[in-house]
Amino acid sequence: MTHPGLKIFSMLFGVFYIVAFYFDLALFRYYPEARQFHWMRTDGIGVVILWYGWIVTAALASAAVAVAVPRPVAERLSSRWVWMVTALVVLVTLIYERRWFV
């Protein structure tokens, strides 16, 4: 019923998400005032939302790796890595976002 690639996906999703956030690698951008999606930065149509694009970037990247990793390798991966990597990503995120509070 379950696939070992799910562990790979979850372990890498946070990493790819935070990389996409830090390096501004949103797959697409949404401009809520104009109600328009754009692939590239588009000036003059109001504020931009990148969050949707970061999530899709992270989902596609982690899904691609999860599919590419051979099943025996994925099966050997301990579930421990999933939460340890994610906890580290959260810690890095919280440290980086201290900038709002100083």
Per the CB < 8 A criterion, the answer to whether 57 and 26 are in contact is: yes
Judged by CB under 8 A, the stretch of 37-45, 56-64, 67-75 that binds other proteins is 56-64
Binding mask 79-98 for other proteins (x = CB under 8 A): xx-xxx-xx-xx--xx--x-
Question: Does 52 contact other proteins by CB under 8 A?
Answer: yes
User: Which one-letter DSSP state was computed for residue 99?
Assistant: G
Residue 24 lies near other proteins (rule: CB under 8 A): no
What is the C-alpha separation between 10 and 95, in angstroms, rounded?
21
- Cα 14 from Cα 28, distance rounded (Å): 18
23 lies in the site for other proteins, by CB under 8 A: no
Contacts of 27 (CB under 8 A, 6+ apart): 39, 53, 56, 57, 60
Contact residues toward other proteins (CB under 8 A) are 1-2, 6-7, 9-11, 13-14, 17-18, 21, 30, 32-33, 46-47, 49, 51-52, 54-55, 58-59, 62, 78-80, 82-84, 86-87, 89-90, 93-94, 97, 99-101
